[in-house]
Amino acid sequence: MFANTLFLLSAVLTLAGAVLVVYSQNLMHACIYLLASLFGVAGLYACIGADFLAATQLVVYAGGVIILMLFAIMLTGGTGNRTNKYGLEKIPAMGNKKTFMIAAFAAIVSALIVIKVTIPVFQNNKNLIVAANAPTVERIGTLLATDHILAFEISSVMLLGALIGAAVISRPRKEIHD
């Protein structure tokens, strides 16, 4: 009963948040609605037993990305909503007919690949036995600290390099006077 209720509430929160993001006129409100949608996705992850993904969703996306977006909106002002007579925001064109045709072709190819991959899954599920959901955090932690320690350390060095690069790019330039 609890799992069904959690699933329904998470699904409603995810969909309602996503719809409100699309129809919101205020950027700050859109960020808050996106936060609600990301909380709903974390709830959906919890429903399927992916506790590590649920925690990562909350920490990385809901905790980090949304706060970063809110700070960016507050620092840049976030104004300049120009709307047309239908109430929709005017967005400058991002390409020409050629780029839209290439994007449409890529979308069709991607959809066909997804269909090709998922058809056998749905056809061969007659004798499928679903295993019980086991916690994944301990197994992922053990694998990261033993078998995959090199990849873990390389990713930490790459993140440190990105942090240093961002600090170097954002520092003010000194003007040299002759």
For the segment 70-88, what is each residue's pLDDT rounded down to a tens digit?
Answer: 777 777 665 555 566 666 5
- 174 pLDDT band, cuts 50/70/90, is confident
Name the residue type at position 24: S
**In the predicted structure, residue 21 carries a pLDDT above the cut 70:** yes
**Rounded-to-integer distance, Cα 3 and Cα 97, Å:** 47
Sign of the torsion formed by the C-alpha atoms of 132, 136, 138 and 144: positive
**In the predicted structure, residue 121 carries a pLDDT above the cut 80:** no
Amino acid 18: pLDDT: 92
Q: Which of 66, 77, 60 is nearest to 31 (CA)?
A: 66
> Rounded to two decimals, what is the model's pTM?
0.54
Q: What is the mean pLDDT of the chain?
A: 77
Amino acid 89: pLDDT: 60
CATH of 1-78 among 3.30.420.40, 1.20.120.1200, 3.40.630.10, 1.10.10.10: 1.20.120.1200
